[in-house]
Chain A
């Protein structure tokens, strides 16, 4: 038998008290683990998300909204920008990669993003990791066809404005879609299947369907563990072939929070770009922001602002969780204080058998540490269970996947912190045990 066994036996002897105090520690630790895990994964995912672009260009308004919409497929588009800006930036020597975006439709709640093949070929959703196809191919995209489609759409728009009739038909052969992995899994769409988009960026039973414009699935992407998995990508030229877009734009209610302003002819939702040098980011941004056509936002800056805002909320939640842990440690101390009267005789017996005062203190502190350690261990597991239980909800809301049972390093700090808190919780009762009057306790009635 060892001191450890004595500590274990003492804790087991007061099983209910040990279990309840350990459980209260576990709840506090679980909250800390859940909050920190979700916070760290979110931060990591947000950072990864913006690492693919140096800058996004979109309608004037909230720059954070623009970044969230373009990079993370969250929120609604703040508006549209002239298509000419795409052409202009495409010729700018400072721009290394330019990706156009047009948004405003969804299929079963998954956002449909009109874009170019450059996005699927050259964009890196994760650092140094381009999109990979799980099956099929990426859609066909021709820059010249986009320009032609844009011209057609503008002509069509002006024609509709004059007589209100629709006498144009689009080329259905261009309507190709590549699905993010989550979008493919949930919708069940396979290569060769067709689907019809619904107006708005979120699923809405009242949303108008573009019945006349079915898209054919030509490719399905491998999972990237980013919001990109939840999007459906279509070739941008086909977006402007859709007859309904111009008309629907006129009829759509601006008060509908799920609706997103679809680009009118001659317009585009946003542009995302990578520059050839960091200096180019600042010069381009200054130029664009000095004009009145659009605004340029740097994702890293916007995400930093967002993390500052959410960081304050995280901090409050974390403080609450830490308070719960401290209260549970106080509960442990209180439970042990209450038990000291009952165990005074046991302590006196151990002293009579040769145990030193310091040994008795070590046993009592060890018991508090054992309870805190068991609680912390259980809390670490419970915290991961909470994270996993909320993972699907988080993914549905923001598109971030939370990997199962990931280890971040803070768990060790939490565990050590809890053990130290256990030591603190045990010191008071241990001092009480230290002062036990052996002679008096031995002669008292059991």
Chain B
């Protein structure tokens, strides 16, 4: 069974004239466990919407999303929140670190909401420190995002995405706000850490350099029948 399975997925928004604007129409899409898949698409093609639907942040108009054997449409919102927190790790283009929290606190944050209930505070802190060490920021644990460079912030975000030992990492243009060097380093980290942690990686981008790093690249324009 695939880690992620999408069937007849449709996302539509109502128009003022009573008709509907179709944003996504994906008849079928699958991701296998531990695979690394790149989805390319131009700006506004629905890449972020696609990731939001997969993570349960956005409910589709119709169709089904099955993640790790669980149909999202059968879960209520709170259950989807927990599922997202435990099984999905997010890496955003703009990092989205909380400015009032230290690097370590940002990493641990997700475990407060949906972490392993058997892990206590000390375990979480230890794990957060280990992840910061893996992304090369063990000396920056107490620094707030404002005291870190863009590349460092994205590395903190990558560590955060791995905190709850997710089955799937969703990366939305993770190198989009970084220079080539930092972007390359961030991409290396995402791909290697996803691989070593056993998580599948689904990355969306419009950057050909990033696409070139993946063996599997899918064009969203071909996947999405509404485009």
Interface residue B152 (Cβ < 8 Å from any Cβ of A) = no
From B78, B90, B124, contact of A1 by CB (8 A): B124
Question: In the bound complex, how far is the Cα of B108 from the Cα of A357, in angstroms?
Answer: 19
Q: Scoring A residues 346 to 390 as 1 if CB is less than 8 Å from chain B, else 0, what string do you get? A: 101111111111110000000000000000000000000000000
Residue pair A349, B98 in contact (C-beta under 8 Å): yes
**Given contacts A439-B52, A446-B94, is CB(A355)–CB(B100) below 8 Å?**
no
A residues in contact with B94, CB < 8 Å? 445-446
Closest residue of chain A to B90 (Cβ to Cβ) is A352
Residue pair B113, A350 in contact (C-beta under 8 Å): yes
Residue pair B96, A345 in contact (C-beta under 8 Å): yes
Task: State which size class the interface on B falls in.
Answer: 35 or more
Residue pair B100, A354 in contact (C-beta under 8 Å): no
B residues in contact with A349, CB < 8 Å? 96-98
Which among A8-16, A37-45, A49-57, A78-86 touches the partner chain? A8-16
Question: In the bound complex, how far is the Cα of B110 from the Cα of A6, in angstroms?
Answer: 11
Question: In the bound complex, how far is the Cα of B128 from the Cα of A5, in angstroms?
Answer: 16
Residue pair B57, A439 in contact (C-beta under 8 Å): yes
From A9, A353, A359, A446, contact of B100 by CB (8 A): A9
Question: In the bound complex, how far is the Cα of B101 from the Cα of A438, in angstroms?
Answer: 20
Interface residue B121 (Cβ < 8 Å from any Cβ of A) = yes
From A6, A13, A442, contact of B99 by CB (8 A): A13
Residue pair B100, A13 in contact (C-beta under 8 Å): yes
Interface residue A443 (Cβ < 8 Å from any Cβ of B) = yes
Interface residue A2 (Cβ < 8 Å from any Cβ of B) = yes
Residue pair A438, B113 in contact (C-beta under 8 Å): no
Residue pair A9, B58 in contact (C-beta under 8 Å): no
A residues in contact with B110, CB < 8 Å? 353-354
Interface residue B179 (Cβ < 8 Å from any Cβ of A) = no
For residue A1, give the distance in angstroms from its CB to the closest CB of chain B: 5
Question: In the bound complex, how far is the Cα of B98 from the Cα of A322, in angstroms?
Answer: 36
Residue pair B90, A439 in contact (C-beta under 8 Å): no
Interface residue B84 (Cβ < 8 Å from any Cβ of A) = yes
A residues in contact with B218, CB < 8 Å? none
Interface residue B175 (Cβ < 8 Å from any Cβ of A) = no
Interface residue A3 (Cβ < 8 Å from any Cβ of B) = yes
Interface residue B154 (Cβ < 8 Å from any Cβ of A) = no
B residues in contact with A442, CB < 8 Å? 48, 52, 57, 92, 96
Residue pair B57, A355 in contact (C-beta under 8 Å): no
Interface residue B211 (Cβ < 8 Å from any Cβ of A) = no
Residue pair B113, A356 in contact (C-beta under 8 Å): yes
Interface residue B70 (Cβ < 8 Å from any Cβ of A) = no
Question: In the bound complex, how far is the Cα of B82 from the Cα of A356, in angstroms?
Answer: 8
Residue pair B100, A10 in contact (C-beta under 8 Å): yes
Closest residue of chain B to A9 (Cβ to Cβ) is B100
Residues of B174-227 whose CB lies within 8 A of A = none
A residues in contact with B108, CB < 8 Å? 1
From A9, A345, A357, A443, contact of B101 by CB (8 A): A9
Interface residue B49 (Cβ < 8 Å from any Cβ of A) = yes
B residues in contact with A439, CB < 8 Å? 48-49, 52, 57-58
**Given contacts A10-B100, A445-B94, is CB(A352)–CB(B48) below 8 Å?**
no
Closest residue of chain A to B125 (Cβ to Cβ) is A1
For residue A18, give the distance in angstroms from its CB to the closest CB of chain B: 11
Give the A-B pair count, Cβ closer than 8 A: 86
Interface residue B60 (Cβ < 8 Å from any Cβ of A) = no
Residue pair A353, B90 in contact (C-beta under 8 Å): yes
Residue pair B57, A352 in contact (C-beta under 8 Å): yes
From A6, A345, A443, A445, contact of B112 by CB (8 A): A6
Q: Scoring B residues 22 to 45 as 1 if CB is less than 8 Å from chain A, else 0, what string do you get? A: 000000000000000000000000
Residue pair B114, A354 in contact (C-beta under 8 Å): yes
**Given contacts A355-B81, A439-B49, is CB(A1)–CB(B57) below 8 Å?**
no
B residues in contact with A13, CB < 8 Å? 99-100
From B58, B82, B99, B109, contact of A350 by CB (8 A): B109
Interface residue B55 (Cβ < 8 Å from any Cβ of A) = yes
Residue pair A353, B105 in contact (C-beta under 8 Å): no
For residue B197, give the distance in angstroms from its CB to the closest CB of chain A: 17
A residues in contact with B85, CB < 8 Å? 353-355
B residues in contact with A445, CB < 8 Å? 94
A residues in contact with B105, CB < 8 Å? 1, 5, 9
For residue A349, give the distance in angstroms from its CB to the closest CB of chain B: 5
**Given contacts A351-B57, A439-B52, is CB(A346)–CB(B98) below 8 Å?**
yes
Interface residue B133 (Cβ < 8 Å from any Cβ of A) = no
Residues of B116-167 whose CB lies within 8 A of A = 121, 124-125, 160, 164
Interface residue B86 (Cβ < 8 Å from any Cβ of A) = yes
For residue A361, give the distance in angstroms from its CB to the closest CB of chain B: 12
For residue A438, give the distance in angstroms from its CB to the closest CB of chain B: 5
Closest residue of chain B to A345 (Cβ to Cβ) is B96
Question: In the bound complex, how far is the Cα of B90 from the Cα of A372, in angstroms?
Answer: 35
Residue pair A438, B100 in contact (C-beta under 8 Å): no
Closest residue of chain B to A355 (Cβ to Cβ) is B113
For residue B28, give the distance in angstroms from its CB to the closest CB of chain A: 23
Question: In the bound complex, how far is the Cα of B112 from the Cα of A2, in angstroms?
Answer: 6
B residues in contact with A443, CB < 8 Å? 48
For residue B182, give the distance in angstroms from its CB to the closest CB of chain A: 17
A residues in contact with B114, CB < 8 Å? 353-355
8 nearest A-B pairs in the assembled complex, by CB-CB distance: A354-B85, A13-B100, A354-B114, A353-B110, A354-B113, A355-B113, A9-B100, A349-B96
Q: List 14 A-B contacts (CB under 8 A).
A: A1-B111, A1-B124, A1-B125, A5-B105, A9-B105, A345-B96, A349-B98, A352-B57, A355-B81, A355-B85, A358-B78, A438-B57, A439-B52, A439-B57
- With A2-B121, A5-B105, A345-B96 given, name 8 new contacts (CB 8 A): A348-B96, A353-B90, A354-B113, A356-B78, A356-B81, A357-B78, A439-B49, A439-B57
